[in-house]
Amino acid sequence: MGTVRGRRRIVVTGWFSFLDGEATAGDVLALHRVEEVLRGAGAAYDVVWSPGFRAGGPHFEDLDPAAYAQLVFVCGPVHGRQVEELHRRFAHCVRVAVGVSVVDAGSPAVTGFDRVLVRDAPGAEPTADLAARAPALPARPVAGVILTHGQHEYGRRRRHGRVAAAVTRWLAGKDCARLELETRLDAHDWRLCATPAQLQAVLARLDVVVTDRLHGLVLALRAGTPALAVDPVEGGAKVTAQARACGWPALLAAEELDAAGLERWWGWCLGEGRERARRIAEGFRTGPRPDSADGLAEALGLEPRPAG
């Protein structure tokens, strides 16, 4: 940190910098828009991060305020003790707030700035949030995650906790959007789907489903979405059996679960697995694969009616 080619740097901060603040997607995109402007102007700057969000920093405790001539505060409300502390610590800097909401124009948090480029304020015409014009983002895969912690009927063969821990730890390091899903239906809980059609609408829009549930596997394939399946029962049980019945290869056994295997099948699911899942879904619709209901009428002693 400090001087670069004889020029003092700009310190860029926001609620994403405070330990008790939070880094929202909107705040970080607003930061990207500001960085775009600063880079375009050839400015040298450092972004301060909350140690609770980005351990690698830099954090406020790493900075020498004397190394900076200007401070830019990005997005969010200019309000409260943390913003006021910035004014005290960087009192020698020219301080500018950009893309912010002003709640109380007379508060020290607001009046401490030399310029306030508002997003919205009483009596002012609002401007578009900085996140709206942030640089375009690369596409990332969207993964539905369907895990179970139950199935106690498998007794000592249960590896559900270990499987869930390993899968979620691995997923946390993947550059993807993760959407936790539940196959349980509930007509009263807005967080859950109330009908199979609602769940299928979600599954069909995903790039991949990561699951250790039988129906997580089957419903993903029914929607034409690849499933990275893990059987949470040692020695294999219904997830393994169903993968075999569906002709689906992207399956890992609980006792063989590791990051290398997850990576291998993740890549396959996002590649050639897409077409394989599409063909299986089509096969479900046209009915070439038998299921146990095919023998139900005979088991009940019923005579099938002629078609038409």
- pLDDT surpassing 90 at residue 22: no
- pLDDT surpassing 90 at residue 69: yes
pLDDT attached to residue 308? 60
* pTM for this predicted structure: 0.86
pLDDT attached to residue 307? 65
3-state SS of the chain is CCCECCECEEEEEEHHHCCCCCCCHHHHHHHHHHHHHHHHCCCCEEECCCCCCCCCCCCHHHCCHHHEEEEEEECCECCCHHHHHHHHHCCCCEEEEEEEECCCCCCHHHHCCCEEEEEECCCCCCCCCHHHHCCCCCCCCEEEEECCCCCHHHHHHECHHHHHHHHHHHHHCCCCEEEECCCCCCCCCCCCCCCHHHHHHHHCCCCEEEECCHHHHHHHHHCCCCEEEEECECCCCHHHHHHHHHCCCCEEEHHHCCHHHHHHHHHHHCCCHHHHHHHHHHHHHHCCCCCHHHHHHHHCCCCCCCCC
Tens of pLDDT, residue by residue over 140-181, are 999 999 999 877 888 888 889 999 999 999 999 999 999 999
Query: With bands split at pLDDT 50, 70 and 90, how would you rate the model's confidence at 20?
Result: confident
- Residues with Cβ within 8 Å of residue 180, at least 6 apart in sequence: 145
pLDDT attached to residue 2? 42
Q: What sign does the CA torsion over 162, 164, 167, 170 have?
A: negative
pLDDT attached to residue 290? 84
pLDDT attached to residue 3? 39
pLDDT attached to residue 57? 87
Tens of pLDDT, residue by residue over 104-117, are 999 999 999 999 99
- Over residues 92-109, the mean pLDDT reads 97
pLDDT attached to residue 159? 85
- pLDDT mean across residues, the chain: 93
CB 46 within 8 A of CB 63: yes
Tens of pLDDT, residue by residue over 262-294, are 999 999 999 999 999 999 999 999 876 788 888
Query: With bands split at pLDDT 50, 70 and 90, how would you rate the model's confidence at 1?
Result: very low
Retrieve residue 200's tokens: 């299928």
- Over residues 220-234, the mean pLDDT reads 97
